[in-house]
Structure 1
Amino acid sequence: MQTPGGSSGIGAETARVMALRGAHVIIGARNMEAANVVKENIQQSISSAKVDVSKLELSSQKSVRAFANRFIERNLPLNVLINNAGVMNCPYKLSEDGIKMQFATNHLGHFLLTNLLLEKMKTTAKESGIEGRIVNLSSVAHIGI
């Protein structure tokens, strides 16, 4: 299982529960320090937990591609992909790819990551006989705007 946005909030809790259920969790995170704290907390509370962290900046297509390549090179199965990270109400800023930061992070990053990992998920499903799942989370934070 891979969870972009697992370094805080609902992503950290999702990573904890998935580890509790026996999943090998890969936390993709922009903030590696926070992600490592989440990893340590999970491993301290769940002795059998398998949790790894890997750098992922969803607003950067280069970072998304590097993350996907690292994941694929590890040759781990991919049963569940949870796209959780997002930004909201950020000041107008362009990503390194020249795309509005909020759109690059919340939409294009998840889209690219999913597409780069989709074949791995299909292969895992074929080999294991268990269908994969892709979960895209969103927010209602925009309602208060």
Structure 2
Amino acid sequence: MVEATPNIRIPETELTERFVRSSGPGGQNVNKVATAVQLRFDVRRSPSLPPDVRERLLTLAAPRINRHGELVIDARRYRSLERNREDARARLARWIARAARPPKRRKPTRPSRAAKRRRLESKKSRGRTKKLRKPPTE
């Protein structure tokens, strides 16, 4: 069970793990032992995710989601299979926790009178500078 937030828990049945050979350091083990973990989580069909969190997760993690709607997390940071497995699950929990936070609403603002005045002054100043570059007309 992966606990992403106090309200969102992903059961083991929704996760698919595949163990593959990892590149990098590991001595003789690197060519024999499959320690890297490929964790797959079907975002589109998961009953554990509320609809709003699902939509945000699909947007946030878009580069990591394949055409079948699965979020693929590749964990090969450690030499041990168990630590890579924990790392993949922790990363999944972080993705879901990020998607669970609703975005802040934008408060519409207006530029102040002084800001408008400064903008217009800088435009006039810029125009004067450009006018001075032109050759004199008769």
State the TM-score, normalized to the length of structure 1: 0.28
> Whose helix fraction is larger, Structure 1's or Structure 2's?
1
Task: Decide which structure has the larger Cα Rg and report it.
Answer: 2
State the TM-score, normalized to the length of structure 2: 0.29
